[in-house]
């Protein structure tokens, strides 16, 4: 029986030392410590021994059992420690690796140009005024000296919301809003959204204009030309000349169209300027005295000029965008080119 005990102890020691997983340890533990363990069997066989040897041997079995228990507990904690360490080294985080970059958006070219235009005019002493996208016929047409039968009033050009209420077709409405509320001197620009029933590569039903209005004593056409020249050079470059051609607008007299030298061919003639060497930028003129009179501004004392141009058109020219619709699709691949 002595040899049997020694054999059991040696076998258990060897087995437990070789165990490499917690699961395995768990199952062997119940084998050695549980109710049906070989040690319990030995205990049962004690009665076969002579009476005086029984206590001594029983003690030996218990000691062996306790030692085994201790060994298992130690093994258990060393296996747990090992499992923890491997889990750390498996999920290692390399803090020196470069992070994933956020996908940053970019300003729409319209916003970029809008801000540039504002900056140029603010630097020349202009204030920025705002009007309303939804207007009435008075501010969009009547006050701007537009006759009742003017084609621009037509349903096919103007989006009407109600009888008298419409989406403004031009930022010139802000001229009226400002002059209703302020006496000269006035020196403002008014950038904003406008709406017309037009939709093709160079027209969008919702588009952007910027209006300028300067009213004071002794304002002349020369002032208009001077400011236009300065503005065009500041926005497009020192080598870009501008010119004005006679035109007609109901609310300015005389009226003119503003051209700039073609940005692509610099005047030689190309497909962008259709061989002209010049590109149309917007409209301008001296405020018609009729407009002043309707608003209670003394047209004998004051004179003024106004001009307006499409912000989207400026953006297309500056960034060589072939189709206006690209500006409104918000395709991230397109926008990212203007970072
Ligand atoms: N509002 C005019 C247009 O939309 C442009 C313009 C503005 C003309 C100011 C003269 C003066 O065509």
Q: What is the CATH number of domain 110-338?
A: 3.30.930.10
Q: Are 252 and 287 in contact (CB under 8 A)?
A: yes
pLDDT tens digits for range 58-96? 888 888 888 888 888 888 898 899 888 888 888 888 888
Confidence of residue 180 (pLDDT cuts 50, 70, 90): very high
Q: Please, where are the H alpha helices in the chain? A: 2-18, 22-33, 38-44, 54-90, 109-123, 137-140, 172-181, 221-236, 289-295, 311-319, 326-329, 332-335
Distances from the Cα of 58 to the Cα of 3, 39, 68, 334, angstroms: 14, 10, 15, 88
Q: Which two tokens stand for residue 130?
A: 């705002």
Beta bridge partners of 309: 210, 282
Domain-wise residue ranges, the chain: 2-89, 110-338
Cβ of residue 249 lying under 6 Å from some atom of ligand 1: yes
In the reported structure, the alpha carbon of residue 256 is separated from the centroid of ligand 1 by a whole-number distance in angstroms of 9
The protein residue with its alpha carbon nearest to ligand 1, atom 12, reads: 283
User: How far, in Å, is the centroid of ligand 1 from the Cα of 248?
Assistant: 10
Predicted local confidence at residue 134, as pLDDT: 98
Which pTM was predicted?
0.72
Ligand 1, atom 9, lies closest to the CA of: 307
Instruction: Identify the residue whose C-alpha is closest to ligand 1 atom 10.
Output: 284
Mutation test residue for ligand 1: of 194, 219, 283, the one with most atoms within 8 Å of CB: 283
Residue 252 Cβ inside 6 Å of ligand 1? The answer reads yes
Statement: residue 297 has pLDDT above 80: yes
Give the mutation target among 152, 308, 311 for probing the ligand 1 site: most ligand atoms within 8 A of CB: 308
Compute CA distances 202 → 65, 81, 205, whole Å: 94, 72, 10
What is the SS3 assignment for 211? strand
For ligand 1, whether the C-beta of 140 sits within 6 Å is no
284 lines ligand 1 (CB under 6 A): yes
- What's the rounded mean pLDDT across residues 15-28? 86
CA of 196 to the centre of ligand 1 (A): 14
Specify the DSSP element, H or E, that contains 212: strand 206-216
């Amino acid at each position: 029986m002595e040899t049997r005990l020694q054999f059991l102890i040696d076998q258990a020691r060897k087995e437990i030392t070789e165990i490499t997983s917690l699961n395995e340890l768990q199952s062997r533990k119940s084998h050695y410590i549980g109710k049906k363990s070989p040690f319990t069997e030995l205990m049962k066989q004690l009665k076969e021994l002579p009476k005086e040897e029984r206590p001594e041997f029983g003690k030996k079995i218990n000691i062996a059992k306790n030692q085994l228990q201790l060994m298992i507990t130690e093994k258990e904690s060393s296996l747990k420690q090992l499992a923890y360490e491997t889990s750390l080294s498996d999920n290692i985080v390399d803090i020196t690796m470069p992070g994933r970059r956020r996908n940053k958006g970019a300003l729409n070219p319209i916003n970029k140009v809008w801000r540039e235009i504002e900056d140029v005019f603010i630097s020349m002493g202009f204030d920025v005024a705002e009007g309303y996208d939804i207007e009435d016929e008075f501010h969009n047409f009547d006050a701007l000296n537009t006759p009742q039968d003017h084609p621009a009033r037509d349903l096919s050009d103007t989006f009407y919301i109600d009888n008298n209420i419409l989406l403004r077709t031009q930022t010139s409405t802000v001229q009226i809003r400002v002059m209703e509320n302020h006496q000269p001197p006035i020196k403002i620009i008014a950038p904003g959204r406008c709406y017309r029933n037009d939709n093709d590569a160079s027209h969008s039903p919702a588009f952007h204009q910027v209006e300028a209005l300067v009213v004071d004593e002794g304002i002349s056409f020369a002032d208009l030309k001077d400011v236009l020249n300065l503005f065009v050079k500041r926005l497009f470059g020192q080598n870009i000349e501008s010119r004005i051609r006679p035109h007609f607008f109901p609310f300015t007299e005389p009226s003119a169209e503003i051209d700039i030298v073609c940005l692509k061919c610099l005047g030689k003639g190309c497909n962008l300027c259709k061989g002209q060497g010049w590109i149309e930028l917007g409209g301008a003129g001296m405020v018609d005295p009729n407009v002043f009179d309707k608003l209670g501004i003394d047209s004998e004392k004051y004179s003024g000029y106004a001009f307006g141009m499409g912000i989207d058109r400026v953006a297309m020219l500056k960034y060589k965008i072939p189709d206006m619709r690209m500006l409104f699709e918000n395709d991230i691949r397109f926008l990212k080119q203007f970072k």
